[in-house]
C-alpha cells in the first residue's frame, strides 16, 4: 500500500460502501488488532510499559510516597508491576531468524531465465525500490505479529515499496482468498496530536484516526479524522478525502503470512506459545536483580529488644532492625540466587526449543572451526523453520516484482513512466566507461535463487574437487565458466559474463603477442640460418680451393705442413 501520485482534494463523498459501513474504531479496537498490538509490544520490548507500579511497588507519579510503599498490608500483584530487568527473547528470536533468511550473505539473487534484458531490468527495479531493506522490515514485523503487507507505487517515475503493519491493515474484500490476493484493503490506526481548539489558549491533546483505502482502480486517503467522527458509521462521507485513479487492474498489495495458515488470514509469530515463559523470566530476573542489589546494600540486624523498631521497616545502609542476641547483616544466601539463575537458563532453553531457534556460543563455534556440514547439523532445527520463511517471503517478493513489471511494461491500463538509472559498463583498457539504457525485456517470470545457509569452506571445496579429479583419472571436473562464477564474488566482481569477456580479451591479446614473438623468433632464426649457410658455403669454397692448390695429394688425405 503506497502513495501512487500526489493526491488532489475532492469534495467529501461516499466512495465505497464497504469502507463506509463499519465504524472506524471498530477496526482499531477489534480483538484482532488488540492481539497483534500485544505481540508487537513484546517485539518492541514495551510489553510492560502500561503497568502502573514499578517492581519495588512504587506507583508512577508518587515516588517514595506511593500508597503501595506506605501501607503495611498493601500487596501489589506481580501482574501490575513493571519488571526492572527483562530477557528480551521475542526480539532476539525475530532478529535471529531474519538474519538467517535475509541477512548478510543470505539475500537471494533475482534471475529471469532466458531473458538477460528482463533480468537486468528487474534487478535495477529492486535496487531502486530498496527491496532488500523493505523485505527485512517486513520480515521483522511479520515475525513479530504473524502477518504483514507489502505494497508498491510509482511516484514521479521512481518505484517505491512500503511495508504495512498487519495490526493497521484490514482486508475488506479478497480477490482470491485461497491465494491471499486482496481486492480491497483499508489501512487505519489512531494517533494523538496537539490541536488548538476554538477559544482555547493552550493546545490540547486529541485523538485522531488515519484512514487509507486501496482497490484495483484507485487509492483514497482521508484527512485526519477526529474521534467523534471515527465512531460514526458514515465517517467516510463526513470527512473530506483525496483520491487518485491508478487503474492498475489489481490491488497493489501482497499479503504475507509469517507461517502458512489456511484457516486464518494471519500466521503465527516467531515466538508463538512462549509469552508465559517470557513473563516468568522477566519476573524472576527482576527478583534476582532486586535481591543482588539488596545484598550490596545490607540491613544491620541488632540483637536487641524488638520494641526499639519503629512501625515502618526501613531497609539498607543507615537503617537497622532490632532483634535479641547479637548483631549481623541481613543478606540473601547465595544458593537462592544460583537456583534462580539455573531456572532462568532452563526457561530460556525451553523458549529456544519451542521457537526452533539456536543461539550457540560464538566463541565455541569459532574455536572449533567447523565445516559447513557440521554447522548445518548444529542449526538443523532452525534451518527447517527458515526454509518455510524463505518460501513465504520469497513468493511475496516475486509476486510484488511481477506486479511492478506488469505496470512498467504497460500491460495495465495505467500509463506510468519508470525512470531507472542506466547500466554502466566498466571501462576496458584504452576505452572509457559505456552507458546502456535498461530495457524491460519480454519475460516477467522472475525467480529467486537462495544461497546456502552455510557455504562450503575453501577447504571443503578443495577436498571435493580433488576427490572428483582422482575419480575421473585426473581429467577436469569443472568448466572455466563455473570456475569464474565461483571466484568472481571473491574478487569483488559478481558479473560472470563480464569477467569471461575480459578473460577472452586477455587470452586473445596474449595469443597475439605470442604470435608476434614467434614471428620475430622465426625471423631471427631464419637470419641466423642464412648466415650459417653462407658461412658453411664459404668454408666449403675455401676448402675446395686449398685442395686444388696441392697437386698429387689425395683428397682423402691432407698432408701435414710443418711451419718453421
Please write the tens of the pLDDT for every residue from 414-428: 777 888 888 777 655
Query: How many residues in the chain?
Result: 564
Percent of the chain with pLDDT over 90: 43
Q: What is the pTM of this model?
A: 0.76
Confidence of residue 235 (pLDDT cuts 50, 70, 90): very high
Q: Is residue 99 part of a domain?
A: no
Structural domain includes residue 392: no
Please state at what angle helix 480-487 crosses helix 496-548, rounded to 10 degrees. Answer: 120
Give pLDDT tens digits for 518-533.
Answer: 878 877 777 777 777 7
Residue 270 located in a structural domain: no
Q: How confident is the model at residue 297 (pLDDT cuts 50, 70, 90)?
A: low
Whether residues 253 and 281 share a domain: the answer is: no
Domain count, the chain: 3
Do 122 and 446 form a contact (C-beta atoms < 8 A)?
A: yes
Least reliable range by pLDDT among 143-152, 304-313, 366-375: 304-313
Q: Are the CB atoms for 156 and 145 separated by under 8 Å?
A: no
For residues 510 and 322, the model is more confident at 510
Print the domain residue range for 506.
478-530
Going by the DSSP 8-state scheme, the letter that residue 427 receives in this structure is: P
Whether residue 325 sits in one domain with residue 296 = yes
Band of pLDDT at residue 7, cut at 50, 70 and 90: very low
Q: Does some domain include residue 74?
A: yes
Are 150 and 211 in a shared domain?
yes
Find the DSSP H helices in 274-414. 275-295, 334-355, 362-368, 372-378, 380-408
- Rounded to 10 degrees, what is the CA torsion of 346, 350, 351, 353? 140
- The mean per-residue pLDDT over the stretch 377-383 comes to 86
* CA-wise closest residue to 53 among 45, 61, 42: 61
Among the residue ranges 45-49, 334-338, 516-520, the one predicted with the least confidence is 334-338
Range of weakest confidence among 248-252, 351-355, 433-437, 510-514 = 433-437
Phi, psi values for residue 184, rounded to 5°: -150, 135
Q: Is 547 within the bounds of a domain?
A: no
312 touches 76 (CB < 8 A)? no
What would the mean pLDDT of 125-148 be, rounded to a whole number? 96
Domain boundary residue, one of 323, 356, 389: 356
232 and 287 in a single domain? The answer is no
Q: Residue 127 pLDDT > 60, yes or no?
A: yes
Residues 294 and 349 occupy one common structural domain: yes
Answer yes or no: is 88 within a domain. no
**Same-domain check for residues 281 and 251:** no
Q: Which residue has the higher pLDDT, 497 or 95?
A: 95
Angle between helix axes 89-102 and 334-355 (nearest 10 degrees) is 40
Report the range of poorest mean pLDDT among 54-58, 245-249, 264-268. Answer: 54-58
Q: Are 187 and 167 in contact (CB under 8 A)?
A: no
Are 221 and 344 found together in one domain?
no
Amino acid at each position: 500500500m503506497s502513495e501512487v501520485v500526489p493526491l488532489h482534494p475532492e469534495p467529501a463523498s461516499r466512495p465505497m460502501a464497504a469502507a463506509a459501513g463499519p465504524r472506524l474504531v471498530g477496526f482499531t479496537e477489534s480483538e484482532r488488532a488488540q492481539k497483534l498490538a500485544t505481540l508487537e509490544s513484546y517485539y518492541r520490548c514495551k510489553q510492560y510499559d502500561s503497568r502502573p507500579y514499578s517492581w519495588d511497588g512504587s506507583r508512577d507519579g508518587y515516588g517514595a510516597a506511593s500508597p503501595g510503599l506506605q501501607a503495611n498490608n498493601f500487596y501489589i500483584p506481580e501482574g501490575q508491576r513493571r519488571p526492572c530487568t527483562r530477557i528480551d527473547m521475542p526480539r532476539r528470536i525475530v532478529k535471529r531468524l531474519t538474519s538467517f533468511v535475509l541477512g548478510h550473505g543470505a539475500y537471494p539473487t533475482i534471475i529471469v531465465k532466458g531473458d538477460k534484458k528482463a533480468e537486468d531490468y528487474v534487478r535495477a527495479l529492486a535496487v531502486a525500490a530498496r527491496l532488500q531493506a523493505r523485505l527485512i522490515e517486513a520480515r521483522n514485523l511479520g515475525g513479530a505479529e504473524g502477518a504483514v503487507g507489502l505494497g508498491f507505487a510509482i511516484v514521479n517515475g521512481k518505484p517505491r515499496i512500503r511495508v504495512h503493519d498487519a495490526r493497521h491493515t484490514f482486508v475488506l474484500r479478497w480477490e482470491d482468498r485461497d491465494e491471499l490476493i486482496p481486492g480491497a484493503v483499508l489501512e487505519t490506526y489512531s494517533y494523538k496530536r496537539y490541536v488548538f481548539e476554538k477559544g482555547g489558549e493552550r493546545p490540547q491533546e486529541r485523538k485522531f484516526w488515519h484512514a487509507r483505502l486501496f482497490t484495483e482502480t484507485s487509492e483514497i486517503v482521508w484527512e485526519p479524522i477526529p474521534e467523534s467522527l471515527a465512531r460514526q458509521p458514515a465517517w467516510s462521507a463526513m470527512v473530506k478525502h483525496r483520491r487518485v485513479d491508478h487503474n492498475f487492474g489489481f490491488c497493489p498489495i501482497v499479503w504475507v503470512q509469517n507461517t502458512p495458515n489456511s484457516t486464518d488470514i494471519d500466521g503465527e509469530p516467531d515466538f508463538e506459545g512462549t509469552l508465559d515463559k517470557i513473563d516468568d523470566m522477566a519476573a524472576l530476573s527482576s527478583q534476582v536483580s532486586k535481591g543482588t542489589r539488596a545484598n550490596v546494600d545490607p540491613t544491620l540486624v541488632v540483637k536487641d529488644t524488638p520494641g526499639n523498631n519503629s512501625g515502618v521497616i526501613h531497609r539498607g545502609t543507615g537503617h537497622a532492625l532490632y532483634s535479641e542476641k547479637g548483631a549481623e547483616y541481613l543478606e540473601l544466601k547465595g544458593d537462592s540466587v544460583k537456583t534462580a539463575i539455573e531456572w532462568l537458563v532452563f526457561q530460556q532453553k525451553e523458549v529456544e526449543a519451542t521457537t526452533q531457534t539456536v543461539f550457540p556460543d560464538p566463541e565455541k563455534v569459532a574455536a572449533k572451526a567447523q565445516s559447513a556440514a557440521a554447522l548445518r547439523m548444529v542449526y538443523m532445527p532452525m534451518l527447517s523453520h527458515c526454509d518455510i520463511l524463505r518460501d513465504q517471503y520469497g513468493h511475496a517478493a516475486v509476486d510484488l516484482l511481477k506486479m511492478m513489471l506488469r505496470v512498467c511494461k504497460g500491460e495495465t491500463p495505467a500509463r506510468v513512466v519508470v525512470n531507472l538509472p542506466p547500466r554502466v559498463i566498466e571501462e576496458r583498457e584504452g576505452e572509457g566507461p559505456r552507458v546502456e539504457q535498461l530495457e524491460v525485456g519480454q519475460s516477467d517470470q522472475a525467480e529467486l535463487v537462495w544461497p546456502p545457509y552455510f557455504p562450503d569452506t575453501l577447504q571443503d571445496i578443495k577436498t571435493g574437487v580433488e576427490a572428483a579429479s582422482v575419480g575421473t583419472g585426473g581429467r577436469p571436473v569443472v568448466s572455466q565458466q563455473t570456475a569464474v562464477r565461483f571466484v568472481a564474488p571473491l574478487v569483488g566482481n559478481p558479473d560472470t559474463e563480464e569477467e569471461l569477456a575480459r578473460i577472452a580479451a586477455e587470452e586473445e591479446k596474449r595469443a597475439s603477442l605470442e604470435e608476434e614473438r614467434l614471428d620475430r623468433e622465426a625471423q631471427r632464426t631464419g637470419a641466423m640460418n642464412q648466415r650459417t649457410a653462407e658461412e658453411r658455403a664459404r668454408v666449403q669454397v675455401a676448402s675446395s680451393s686449398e685442395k686444388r692448390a696441392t697437386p698429387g695429394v689425395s683428397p682423402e688425405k691432407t698432408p701435414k705442413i710443418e711451419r718453421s
